[in-house]
Structure 1
Amino acid sequence: MTTDFQQARQALGRRLRELRGKGTTQRQLGALLGWPQAKVSKLETGRQTATPEDLTAWAQATGHPAVTEELVARLQGMETHSRSWRRQLSAGHRPVQDVLTVEYERSKALRAWQGAMVVGMLQTPDYARNVFSRFTDLQRSPRDIEEAVRARVRRQELLYQRGRAFHIVLWEAALHAGLAPPDVLAAQMDKLTNVIGLDTVQLGIVPFGAQLALPPATGFWLYDDRLVIVEEWHAELWLDDPESLGVYQRVWDKLSASAVYGTHARRLITRARAHFADA
C-alpha cells in the first residue's frame, strides 16, 4: 500500500523509532510496555496503526511525555483521510450512519459508483439488514443492526427533497449479488424499478459485456465537488484535495458513460428480479 495514509503511518513510525533511541531495543521497550516485540516493530515500520493509548504509553515509556500531544495530532491528521473500520465501528454501525447523514444533508449533487451491491441510499430495510449483518460479522463490531437500518432508511427521505440530485451508477453484477435471500433480493429489484421514476434520481446500470474505459473497481460517493468517500475493506478514505477529487470525478465520468438508463436499465433490473423469483 503506497497511499498518503501509509506514508504518514511510516513517518509516524520513524518518529516513534527516534523517540525509542539507540539505547533501548525493541524487545526492551516491548517488555516495559507489556507488548510483544512484534507490535513495537510493526508500529515503527508503519505496518500497524497506533491508537492514542499506544502513543501515550510510548511517550511515557521512552521518557518523552511532552510529545504525547504531537504524536496524537499526527494520528488524527492521518485519520482525517483514512478512517479505519475498526475504530469507526467500535460503537457499532449506527454512529457511522449518523456521520454520513450529515454529509448527505450538506450536499445537493451526489454521484455514486458501486459495482458490488446496491448502494445504501436505494436499499430496502431487509436488504440493508443483511448487508449490515455481513459486515458486522466481518469487522466483529457491536451488533446494532436494527438501529443502523433505521438510520439508513431515514436518510433515504433525502431522495424526495426538491433541489437534490442523485446520479447513481451500478454495475449489473450488483443486481445479482446474493447478499440476501431470494425474496429479499426480488423486493430490492422492485424498489430499484420504482426509483427510476423519481425526478431527483438518475439510476444507470453498466451491463455485463459493456465496453469499459476502466475496470469496475472500488465503490465511492462524490459529495458535490468537495468530498469523495471511498470504501475499502479496512477503512473509508475521505478525500477532499483537488487532485484526488479530480481523479474520482474522471473515474465516475468514464464508468457512467458505459451505463444505460430508463427503459434499458429497467429491463436489466427486471431480468435480475426474474432470476431471484425463480430461485
Structure 2
Amino acid sequence: MSTDYQRARAELGRRLRELRVENPGGRLTGTELAERLGWPQSKVSKLENGRQTPTDEDLRAWAQAVGQPAVFPELRARLKGFESHLRSWRRQLAAGHAPVQETWNTLVSDSTSLYALSSAAINGMLQTADYARHIFERHATLQKSPRDTEAAVRARMKRQEWLYQPGKRLNLLMPESVLWGRICPPEILAPQLDRLLGVVGIDTLNLGILPLDGTLPLIMGNSFNVLDERLVVVENWHAELWLDDAETIALYRRVWDTFAESAVFGAEAQQVIARVRRSIKV
C-alpha cells in the first residue's frame, strides 16, 4: 500500500475520531459507538487508526450514529479521493465483472497508445471470447462476485474494436511462459494462440515476446498498463492501483522499455507463438 494512501486513510480515521468525540449529545467512547452501530469495538478502533478502509455504508452509519448525518458527503468525498488510487476488487466486483470491463472500455477509448506488460495471462485486448470466459468464471469463484460472465465477455470483446481504429497503438509485452500456461483447457488455448498468430503484423499492434531461453533484465513483476502517459494501472490480487503522477508513469515506461530490449518482435515473435501452438494436441 502506498504511503500516500496510508496517509489519506489515517487522515480519514482522525476525522472519524473527531466526529465521535464531538457528538452533539455528548462525547462517545469507542465502546459506546460500537454498541450503537452493532459493530465489534475493534472495527471502530481500526477505522479511527487508519488500519481498515471503510465502506460508504460504514461512513453513513458512523455519521448517523454520532448525530451528524450531514457530514456523510464530506466523508464519502474523502474516501473516494484516496480510493481512486487503490480500487479493491471487492468493491469493483460488487456488481460483477461487466461494470469493470465497461470502465476499462472508457479508459481505452479515450487513449491513443497503450504500453502493457501482461505477465500472467494473454492480454485482454487479444483474448478470444472462450479464453476470456474461462478467466471471468475462475475469478468470479475466487472473488465470490456475481456471475455476469456473458456480459463481461461482450464488454471485453467490444474493447478490442479499438485495435482496428486508425491512429491507435497497442505496445504489448508478454513472457513466453504466458503462452505455455495451461490456465484453460487445450481446446480453448489452441484457438487463443491461433488468434495471436493472426494479429502479429497488424499496424496497430507492436507485440513482443520474452523467450523462455532469453535473459530477463529485471525481475518479472505484476501486469500493468500505461495509458497515454497519463495513467498507469497495476494489477494485484486484491486491487488495481491507479497511478497518475508523472514520475511513476515514467518509471513504468522505463520498465517496459527495459524488458522490450530482451523481447523478440514480428516474425521472431510469431515463431515463438507457433512453437507453443504446435505443442498443443486437441
* Residue number in structure 2 paired with 1:8: 8
Aligned-partner SS, 2:178: helix
Q: Is 2:131 the counterpart of 1:95?
A: no
* Residue number in structure 1 paired with 2:114: 110
The 2-side partners of 1:130 and 1:53 are apart by 33
RMSD, matched Cα: 1.7
Instruction: Answer with 77-86 or 144-153: which moved more.
Output: 77-86
Q: 1:126 aligns with which of 127, 130, 142?
A: 130
Aligned-partner SS, 2:190: helix
* Residue number in structure 1 paired with 2:85: 81
* Residue number in structure 2 paired with 1:234: 238
User: TM-score scaled to structure 2, two decimals?
Assistant: 0.92
Shift of 1:3: 4.1
Instruction: Answer with 258-267 or 118-127: which moved more.
Output: 258-267
Aligned-partner SS, 1:276: coil
Shift of 1:32: 0.9
Q: Is 2:273 the counterpart of 1:269?
A: yes
* Residue number in structure 2 paired with 1:154: 158
Q: Is 2:23 the counterpart of 1:19?
A: no
The 1-side partners of 2:214 and 2:139 are apart by 30
Partner deviation per Cα, 1:189-217 (whole Å, 9 max, x = no partner):
11111111211101101112432332111
Q: Is 2:191 the counterpart of 1:170?
A: no
The 2-side partners of 1:41 and 1:209 are apart by 52
The 2-side partners of 1:3 and 1:263 are apart by 44
The 1-side partners of 2:218 and 2:84 are apart by 28
Assess if the C-alpha contact under 8 Å between 1:115 and 1:172 holds in 2: no
* Residue number in structure 1 paired with 2:185: 181
User: TM-score scaled to structure 1, two decimals?
Assistant: 0.93
Shift of 1:18: 2.9
Instruction: Answer with 87-96 or 62-71: which moved more.
Output: 62-71
Q: 1:192 aligns with which of 191, 196, 211?
A: 196
Partner deviation per Cα, 1:136-185 (whole Å, 9 max, x = no partner):
11111110001111111121111111111111000112112221101111
Give the number of aligned pairs: 278
Q: Is 2:31 the counterpart of 1:30?
A: no
The 1-side partners of 2:179 and 2:13 are apart by 43
- Assess, with a 3 A threshold, how the Cα gap between structure 1 residues 69 and 186 changes in structure 2: closer, same or farther: same
The 2-side partners of 1:42 and 1:258 are apart by 46
The 2-side partners of 1:206 and 1:10 are apart by 41
The 2-side partners of 1:21 and 1:260 are apart by 62
* Residue number in structure 2 paired with 1:138: 142
The 1-side partners of 2:229 and 2:54 are apart by 32
Structure 1 runs of 4+ with >6 Å offset: none
Instruction: Answer with 147-156 or 261-270: which moved more.
Output: 261-270
Partner deviation per Cα, 1:72-104 (whole Å, 9 max, x = no partner):
110010122221211211111111111111111
> In percent, how many aligned pairs have the same letter?
54
Structure 1: runs of 5+ lacking an equivalent = none
Instruction: Answer with 63-72 or 34-43: which moved more.
Output: 63-72
Aligned-partner SS, 1:253: helix
Aligned-partner SS, 2:240: strand
Shift of 1:271: 2.4
